[in-house]
Amino acid sequence: MNAPKAAMSGRFNRLLMRLLKFGLVSVLLVILLAEMLSHNSGEKPPMFSWLAWVQWATSMLAIAVYAWYRPGRKRWIAAVAVASLVVTGIDAVYDQVVRGVGTAELLAMGLLLLFAIRHWDAAPGRWVAFVLGAAILLIGGVRLFTYEGSDVGGTAMVVMAMLSVIGFGAYLRSMDKLRRETQEEVRRAERLELAREMHDFVAHHVTGMVVLAQAGQVTDTDPRKAFADIEEAGLAALASMRRMVRMLRADDTGGGVNPLGDLSQIEDLVDRFSREGTDATCFISPELAGGAVAPEIAATAHRVVREALTNVRKHARGATRVRVVVAAASGQGLEVSVRDDGRAPRGRFGRESLAQSGAGLGLVGLRERIEAVGGQLRAQERPEGGWETAAWLPREAAPVEV
């Protein structure tokens, strides 16, 4: 099976970002090499000075940290800032008249300042951004703008560039915070919904226990067989309750906030969708009827169809046909699929981009809910056109560790 186009697009975007970083690193290295070799008439190139080689080492450290930076490695940014301050102090002590080596270092630290602002609260603390900003300013004032009349204008340009970087970093940080808060709100709503569903799921199993106990009193069944059936129903009730409690306690449990449903309600859901103007059909395999599917799985299947139809209404331009299928699958499972013939909005925003980036909170919650019961979700563009949202679910929910 070919990889989904959404996954291919995600890999392509990651490749572009790596190429962009490679290009920036290459430019910084070229600038550093030019700094080491350039000189005025009658002067020796900086490469003949031991201090220039110290500055070269600090520049290489800054470039390397930028090249291999990942969120959570802010301590390396702090190391670059401290090293730069030390080297600038050495330069000031020796009071060199010629222009020092530091342009590539300044540019690399400007890029690192973006990360320091975006990850403002990451270890080792907020002071990293202030120390890095001071190091950038001192590079300009002590090592680069040494010629007469260049200090004021050069420092002003550095300050303006720093303010731009700080503003962009603050914007990215605010977007990260907004996304986390929005997802947390959805998760809180889902935990409340799960608390309501717990009553329905556990009540289903307890009702079965009561029926078995009543049947054992009026029939001539083997008491051991009756007790074994009651025990099995009781264990199923406990497993369902533990699963729900675990999902309620988990900080990273996500999901939507749609009401509880089952397989019998999927047809009604599709009929209501069809009455809104889109030709929608539904097929549910007969072998899945009659309690062949656990209540948690039936509710999850209902949630898949509801979320998929919502996305069709929001994001599928010109969709005229929708096909919903709930069929038995291999491995004692079932597959829920919703296919449409619509076109995505310009830029693929809302379908392919949401599926690959997780920006669609409905898909985020749906994926986590499906995985919580041991299933798998895929959302991808169809080769013949349109979109497909499909999920494989076990007929019984995944076992829960006691």
pLDDT in tens, 11-61: 787 888 889 999 999 999 999 999 898 877 777 888 888 888 999 999 999
In a domain, 22, yes or no: yes
In a domain, 234, yes or no: yes
Domain shared by 341 and 387, yes or no: yes
Question: Which residue, of 203, 222, 249, is where some domain finishes?
Answer: 249
**Nearest residue to 176 (alpha-carbon basis) of 121, 127, 227, 223:** 121
The DSSP bridge partners found for residue 381 are 387
In a domain, 300, yes or no: yes
> How confident is the model at residue 153, as a pLDDT?
77
Could you give the number of structural domains in the chain? 3
Domain shared by 42 and 102, yes or no: yes
Domain shared by 91 and 10, yes or no: yes
> How confident is the model at residue 204, as a pLDDT?
62
> How confident is the model at residue 359, as a pLDDT?
42
Domain shared by 81 and 140, yes or no: yes
Domain shared by 233 and 268, yes or no: no
Distance CA 151, CA 103 (A): 14
Domain shared by 293 and 328, yes or no: yes
Which ranges of the chain have pLDDT less than 50?
A: 1-4, 6, 251-259, 347-350, 353-360, 402
- The parent domain of residue 126 ranges over 5-147
> How confident is the model at residue 194, as a pLDDT?
63
> How confident is the model at residue 149, as a pLDDT?
64
In a domain, 154, yes or no: no
> How confident is the model at residue 334, as a pLDDT?
92
In a domain, 335, yes or no: yes
Domain shared by 36 and 121, yes or no: yes
Strand 376-381: give its sheet, edge to edge.
Answer: 279-284, 321-329, 333-340, 387-394, 376-381
Domain shared by 300 and 231, yes or no: no
Domain shared by 96 and 143, yes or no: yes
**Nearest residue to 88 (alpha-carbon basis) of 77, 107, 102:** 102
Domain shared by 216 and 329, yes or no: no
Domain shared by 387 and 319, yes or no: yes
Q: Other C-beta atoms within 10 Å of 126: how many?
A: 13
Domain shared by 32 and 140, yes or no: yes
